[in-house]
Structure 1
Amino acid sequence: MPHVVTQACCGDASCVYACPVNCIHPTPDEPDFGTAEMLYIDPSTCVDCGACVTACPVGAIAPGHRLPEDQRRFTEVNAAQYGENLFVGDVRFPVNMAKRLPLAPVSTPAPLRAGPQHVAIVGSGPSAMYAADELLRLPNVSVTVYERLSLPFGLARFGVAPDHTATRTVMKLFDDIARHERLRILLNVEIGRDLTLDELRERHDAVFWAGGAPTDRPLRIPGTDAHGFAAATSLVGWYNDHPDFADRRFDLSGERVVVIGNGNVALDVARILAADPAALAATTISPTALEALQHKKIREILVVGRRGPREAAFTLPELIGLAESGISVHADPADLAGVDTSASDITEREKLALLRELAERPPVGSEDGAVRIRFAFGLAPHEIRTDDGRVTGVRFERTAVAADGTATPTGEIVDVDAGLVLSAIGYHGVAVPGLPFDPKRGVIPNDDGRVMDGDIPVAGVYVTGWIKRGPTGFIGTNKTDSAQTVASWRHDVEAGLLTAP
């Protein structure tokens, strides 16, 4: 039976180049690579050689006949992308993939046409480690990574949910990179506190800034200063034992939690809050968080989107993972009634089909402390309701969602009681002293990774990862992103464009 890519897919495309028959798509050279929610194996082309299994850094690929029950849906997900006349419910999936061209062979890069180069990378998350790996393919380049925390690998360590054990294994790849003889990782070193940017530039031939998007997008409504409101990013840091959030405390004594936003982070925090603490005990969850979850009184977690189910920000793999987790998950049939799927792509239709299935599932009883996750759509947060400085709920305004996805307030007010409200509307980059910054997008302005001050490149300074492109994509997306930045740097070095700052 053909091999299948599953939920853990990180999208770094290592499997693409390992495949001898070009059956894994989209490839980094195809236009849909940057927007695809995962990679897919063509079941009619796969020869079951297993090369992709060996290449995958997160163990996301398996033979279809060996998939556990909670991952069986991914057989359909992979096949649907290639027009296998597959039916999910009463929906037939047509041919979706364009004609695929043969892949170019993977080759070792030519030596750098310049003298020895010593490059600094600020940050040690996925984009930093992929950039280091690309740089170290050149024999006359050495790299020093500067990390402000006491442990490396950024969001791969502190952002991935503790129960996503397969995804977290990407750190084994980063460990391999870290052992390279021309790479040093300096921990507990913060640029701006222990070393200025100017000092860093003086010490190195070039600087790659890979600081990510370390804060959350603010929710600009009244009441967000009340006790019981928090950014979902802080809860993620708390249960992952991030040093910046280890001392945070969250009130889990209320029966309902509201999560504003419905991206993958929203699904992560909802699932962790709903999960049986006994099941989490075998994961990497923070002991402090585990103890707090063992005493939670939560009975419902409401995940709210401003727009409709078609526009939901979560990915299909994450929705499947939640739906098959054993947790009681529900959607309101009224939210799905009349949703037009005629212009939807295959992935979007599969999401809607699964949401309809969730709407039809019978409720799971709350005996034995079971917690329910419920989706709600078409609700825009208006204010956080409070009493004596503490959160009591959220006031929403219902929206009308047009065919193009725009949401217009209707004036209808919906009040929802809650003891804890989490904002999960996205990450946001922070300004770096001494470098230009776009506060609206939360990125450092750049041209293919070259930091730009207006129309002028900042000599010898480059960016990669979320601080370069914004908080989009997956862990593996940073591989192609970093390769682009390294290519820009290489061009500049060989063209003699790098000058002393």
Structure 2
Amino acid sequence: MTDQNTDSPARRLRVAIVGAGPAGVYAADLLGKSPQVSGGEVGLAVDLFDELPTPFGLIRYGVSPDHPRIKGIITALHKVMEKDWIRFFGNVGLGRDVSLAELRERYDAVILATGAQKDADLNIPGVDLAGSHGAADFVSWYDAHPDVPREWDLSAREVAVIGNGNVALDVARILSKHADQLLSTEIPEHLYEQLGGSAVTDVHVFGRRGPAQVKFTPLELRELSHSKDVDLVLYPEDFEFDAASDEAIKTNNQVKTMVSTLTNWLVEQEERDANPDHRPSSRRLHLHFLHSPVEITGENGAVTGMTFERQELDGTGNVRGTGEIINYPLQAVYRAVGYFGSAVDGVDYDGARGVIPNAEGRVLDAEGTPVAGVYATGWIKRGPVGLIGHTKGDAQETITHLLEDLPQLAEPTASESVETLLTERGVDYTDWAGWLELDAYERALGRQEGEIETRFGSITRERVKVRDRDELLRHAATRATLAL
């Protein structure tokens, strides 16, 4: 690997970034664009590590397959990863294959960008019943994550999705969408077959507050109407607006757009229902507002329904309970109330917030003192809030502090390189050349299928995602590790 700015810089900076998703790649990119590096004062070499065999994290395994625009962010990340001063080490787990202490011995600084993969808790009775699922688990399944079960129970006819964020809409859309509409995406055959056999007829999305307080974006909302043979169902009694709602509609274009879209759908629904020639679709996607979850009910250990308390707006955009209890018959519940970060080996962890304790990206120990040379960025730093684009600003803050600390950073002490360490331990790590081979293989799988006729017209496939970790490694593992 060649350092960036190798024309006799005053200092050579070696950085390990743990997590090769958007947060980690943006951090590497901003390091390379920093005045110290671009001006030739500092030479730079960055190694990105990920426990998965593939790069791009959330974009590959957390974005719905029918979001080609967001998936396209990989193109920008790909350009960063191609820099000759960046190396990729996939299939390497921190704490499993290498310790934080071992990385600190080999790098001037370590940036933790491990994200948030778990579901946040929904603390109501019945969450442990069979048929109650975390949305993060379902997203990993339909994104063909190599470490989740291959099969998913899609026998429920009536399904609830709890939450009013983008993930909730993704889950609801995938559950209600007909599999033939997803065949043009990267989903592998086993996912297509299982989604094609789904028994679902009705998907209900529940939010605690009103239409002006939803957390999803206009693009995500509008995509609901693109599903074919799926009727959107809204409820006039849920369209409540208080003073804070009116102010948000007047001053926030995003809120105005979403409320306008929802109210237009309500008018279209009334016209549709009044049309005697209208033929109902085979599936329905219901949007409910002002519903606070109380309990998931069940029989014989399995979900049979859910109880909500009706809410009302209090004038400030928040809600209060009305005491009215509503019950819905259901056979499955998907909890999309947020993601939550996991503990990272070698540093303290804030279990209440699901983050690594830090001061603007400087990782802190149990006494609140910065840990020399260790930093955090992305969701493990600030919690799972904001969109992917917000990660750039977050990374900039962390990188700024790292470069401020540069005069005090201890230089690496280990004589043995990280690739030697991994190879001696028999770790089948993947590299950038291996990713390029896997990428080409997945695209070739898509081309092999050619043009496919479906009930919604003919489609072609750009790629077919490889799911199994062993198969991923066969295509992506570095030749040196496979030769052991």
Map Cα deviations across residues 124-181 of structure 1 (whole Å, 9 max, x no partner).
1001111112223426110111111111110010111101112111112222222221
**Displacement after TM superposition at 1:455 (Å):** 3.7
- 1:43 maps to none
Q: 1:352 aligns with which of 240, 259, 262?
A: 259
Residues 1:289 and 2:200 are matched in the alignment: no
Map Cα deviations across residues 309-351 of structure 1 (whole Å, 9 max, x no partner).
2221112221122234454223211111455443112321221
Q: 2:382 aligns with which of 466, 469, 475?
A: 469
Q: Could you tell me how far apart the structure 2 residues matched to 1:410 and 1:201 are?
A: 55
Residues 1:480 and 2:376 are matched in the alignment: no
SS at structure 2 position matched to 1:152 = coil
Contact 2:99 2:346 in 1 (8 A): no
Moved more, 361-370 or 386-395: 361-370
Q: Could you tell me how far apart the structure 2 residues matched to 1:254 and 1:361 are?
A: 28
SS at structure 2 position matched to 1:342 = helix
**Displacement after TM superposition at 1:442 (Å):** 1.5
Identical aligned residues as a percent? 39
Q: 1:409 aligns with which of 313, 321, 328?
A: 321
- 1:309 maps to 211
Moved more, 385-394 or 335-344: 335-344
Residues 1:343 and 2:257 are matched in the alignment: no
**Displacement after TM superposition at 1:451 (Å):** 0.9
- 1:196 maps to 99
Q: Could you tell me how far apart the structure 2 residues matched to 1:198 and 1:484 are?
A: 24
Contact 1:136 1:143 in 2 (8 A): no
- 2:27 maps to 131
SS at structure 1 position matched to 2:305 = strand
SS at structure 2 position matched to 1:267 = helix
The one-letter code sitting in structure 2 at the alignment partner of 1:388 is N
**Displacement after TM superposition at 1:497 (Å):** 5.0
Map Cα deviations across residues 406-441 of structure 1 (whole Å, 9 max, x no partner).
322232211111111100000011122331222222
Q: 1:265 aligns with which of 156, 160, 167?
A: 167
Instruction: Provide closer, same or farther for how the CA distance between residues 338 and 200 of structure 1 changes in structure 2, counting only shifts above 3 A.
Output: closer
SS at structure 2 position matched to 1:198 = helix
Residues 1:397 and 2:309 are matched in the alignment: yes
Q: For 1:54-93, what aligned pairs fall within 5 Å after superposition? A: none
Q: 1:489 aligns with which of 370, 391, 402?
A: 402
The one-letter code sitting in structure 2 at the alignment partner of 1:211 is T
The one-letter code sitting in structure 2 at the alignment partner of 1:287 is E
Q: 1:386 aligns with which of 294, 298, 309?
A: 298
SS at structure 2 position matched to 1:302 = strand
- 1:118 maps to 14
Q: Name whichever structure is richer in helix by fraction.
A: 2
- 2:468 maps to none
- 2:421 maps to none
Q: 2:225 aligns with which of 308, 318, 323?
A: 323
Q: For 1:28-177, what aligned pairs fall within 5 Å after superposition? A: 114-137=10-33, 138=37, 140-177=43-80
Q: Could you tell me how far apart the structure 2 residues matched to 1:266 and 1:284 are?
A: 21
- 2:467 maps to none
SS at structure 1 position matched to 2:88 = strand
The normalised TM-score by structure 1 is: 0.73
The one-letter code sitting in structure 1 at the alignment partner of 2:13 is Q
SS at structure 2 position matched to 1:343 = helix
SS at structure 1 position matched to 2:321 = strand
Instruction: Provide closer, same or farther for how the CA distance between residues 338 and 147 of structure 1 changes in structure 2, counting only shifts above 3 A.
Output: closer
Instruction: Provide closer, same or farther for how the CA distance between residues 457 and 292 of structure 1 changes in structure 2, counting only shifts above 3 A.
Output: same
- 1:437 maps to 349
Q: Could you tell me how far apart the structure 2 residues matched to 1:441 and 1:112 are?
A: 44
The one-letter code sitting in structure 2 at the alignment partner of 1:243 is P
**Count of aligned positions:** 392
Map Cα deviations across residues 434-480 of structure 1 (whole Å, 9 max, x no partner).
31222222211222211123442110000111111111222222122
The one-letter code sitting in structure 2 at the alignment partner of 1:390 is A
Q: Could you tell me how far apart the structure 2 residues matched to 1:482 and 1:189 are?
A: 22
Give structure 1 stretches of 5+ with no counterpart.
Answer: 1-107
Contact 2:312 2:321 in 1 (8 A): yes
The one-letter code sitting in structure 2 at the alignment partner of 1:199 is E
**Displacement after TM superposition at 1:498 (Å):** 4.9
TM-align CA RMSD? 2.5
TM superposition outliers: structure 1 runs of 4+ over 3 Å: 111-114, 323-327, 337-341, 363-369, 497-501
* Structure with larger Rg: 2
Give structure 2 stretches of 5+ with no counterpart.
Answer: 414-484
- 2:109 maps to 206
Instruction: Provide closer, same or farther for how the CA distance between residues 246 and 180 of structure 1 changes in structure 2, counting only shifts above 3 A.
Output: farther
Contact 1:323 1:358 in 2 (8 A): no
Contact 2:125 2:295 in 1 (8 A): yes
SS at structure 1 position matched to 2:247 = coil
The one-letter code sitting in structure 2 at the alignment partner of 1:414 is I
- Higher RCO (CA < 8 A, seq sep 6+): 2
